[in-house]
Copies of this chain bind each other. A is one copy, B any other.
Amino acid sequence: MAKKKINIALIGSKFMGRTHSNAYLKVNKFFDLPVEPVMHTIAARDPKDLKKFSARWGWENWTTAWKEVCQNPEIDLVDVGTPNHVHAEQAIEALEAGKHVVCEKPLAGTLDDARAMVKAAKKARKCQTFVWYNYRRCPAVALAHQLVKSGKLGRIYHVRAAYLQDWGGPDTPLLWRFQSKFAGSGAHGDLNAHIIDMARFVTGDEISEVVGSIEQTFIKERDLLEEAGGEIRGKGAKRRKTKGKSTVDDAVLFLTRFKGGAVGSFEASRLSTGDKNRNRLEVHGEKGAIRFDFERMNELEWYDATTDGKCQGWTTINVTRGDDGHPYVGSWWPQSHLIGYEHGFINQASDMLKVLGGRKPEVALPDFADAFETQKVLHAAIESARNRCPIKLSQIK
């Protein structure tokens, strides 16, 4: 019997367009799914690039008219892979047209946008919503979530999260990522969004207060490019002789309290020299602790404080063993035949398609309401930094 088809439309053909296309291409080669994903339509702005992109990745159709896509009765799932400032408009359009929606993270560029999206999601009762917090589906992070959930850490004392990159030095030009009107924020929305979501996901707890916060722009002016925009590093892009003002943060640090009593620290930076993609999470509980660093994404460090003290230590779990119950990796390769960055997206595609086919995801998927909790923390951190005072999350609606 043929499987039900899920026709997918993807809006956006840049960095995320590529990771999502790759996910849809590969997901049914590795996972046994209840439905069949179809790469139906790709939508983006530049017709020339789009045609090439579409052919390369095997999208059946391409268009520059994203609104039409949302209205297309053939489409089942709309994937919003665009910059933050257009998430709300596109996601709401799709939801109102009765589509399932998966949106890139963070949910939106502003709290108001995010709130509107949650409202639209609630209204669209038959529609599933998802957000691409891909690191949840890194097997080591999913395992950390499972360990905490099964009680292995006990009462949690400490959460220590940092997402550190170093590509934003003074030589990096004024890409769209340094412009508030496109990106909403800098390292904060880009990187803190991920670690707030991960901390919530792994601990199963919610942040109750931002106690203090620093929002910092180290490099005030950057070289203007001939064309606004460009990909992350934009090395090839032509520079103008004038400089423009960076309107986003380079780094945001903040301290939190959690509802369950833990204390936490968060830090995102694009100027942490030497750290390439150091998405790091440490959680310490009464009975154990975990440490994760994306630069060694196939590993989870785990401390079991309940065993014979003589043999206690940090255990580096190579989270690649499907036979031993490690999440996701059973669908991939033999043990310690490592997987990479892109696999988080493929694993998420698998879980979304399972949900759309009536099954359960391997670990919890964030929907718009869930992602709104992360958005509130992002917002509170900036409020705290600007108003120089603690902010309780209960104040933010």
Contact = CB atoms under 8 A, between A and B. Distances in A.
A337 B336 contact: no
A317 B312 contact: yes
Contacts of A56: 28-29
Interface residues of A, number: 97
A72 interface: no
Interface in A310-334: 310-318, 320-321, 323-326, 333-334
B339 A341 contact: yes
A303 B273 CA distance: 8
A360 interface: no
A263 B342 CA distance: 33
Interface in A257-316: 257, 261, 263, 265, 267, 269, 271-278, 284-289, 291, 294-299, 302-305, 308-316
A333 B342 contact: yes
Contacts of A65: none
A310 B325 contact: yes
When all copies of this chain in the complex are counted, the total is 4
Contact of A214 (B147, B257, B278, B314): B257
Contact of A157 (B28, B212, B272, B297): B272
B284 A273 contact: yes
A255 interface: yes
A314 B311 CA distance: 11
Interface stretch (A106-114, A122-130, A162-170): A162-170
Given A255-B255, A286-B169, A296-B296, A305 B158 contact: no
A286 B273 contact: yes
A158 B271 contact: yes
Nearest to A143: B310
Contacts of A284: 166, 269, 271-275
A273 B26 CA distance: 33
Given A158-B269, A294-B338, A337-B340, 9 more contacts: A25-B26, A25-B29, A158-B271, A158-B272, A216-B263, A276-B335, A313-B316, A314-B315, A338-B341
Query: Nearest 6 CB-CB pairs, A to B?
Result: A212-B212, A309-B324, A274-B303, A276-B336, A277-B336, A337-B341
